[in-house]
Amino acid sequence: MYQPNPKSLGRLGSITQSLASATLVPNNFSTRPKFLARLPTGQLYFDSALELDTDGWPLGGRMGDPDWQVQTRVKTQ
């Protein structure tokens, strides 16, 4: 049975009570989330690692993204 990280419990509040009756959501993500489910009240609960896509990084660096595309940058000036 899924258990959220104990450090997150204070931020999750009453959601933790709904996790036991949540319905798992099938997915085919390349990096599988730890837990992806629909709570009984309809919200999605998603627990996964944070991954950043740095396309368009304005400073000209790839930041570790092999598919980096500068043309996707939003110009702010």
Domain-located, residue 72: no
pLDDT band at 60 (very low <50, low <70, confident <90, very high): low
Domain-located, residue 53: no
- Is the confidence at residue 77, as pLDDT, over 60? no
Q: Is 71 left (phi over 0), alpha (psi -120 to 50) or beta?
A: alpha
Count CB atoms within 10 A of the CB of residue 15.
16
- Is the confidence at residue 76, as pLDDT, over 70? no
pLDDT of residue 26: 95
Total domain count, the chain: 1
Is the pTM of the predicted complex or chain greater than 0.85?
no
Domain-located, residue 28: yes
Residue 42: both structure tokens together: 């309809």
Which residue range is the domain that position 34 belongs to? 6-47
Domain-located, residue 55: no
Domain-located, residue 64: no
pLDDT tens for residues 12-59? 999 999 999 999 999 998 888 999 999 999 999 999 988 766 666 666
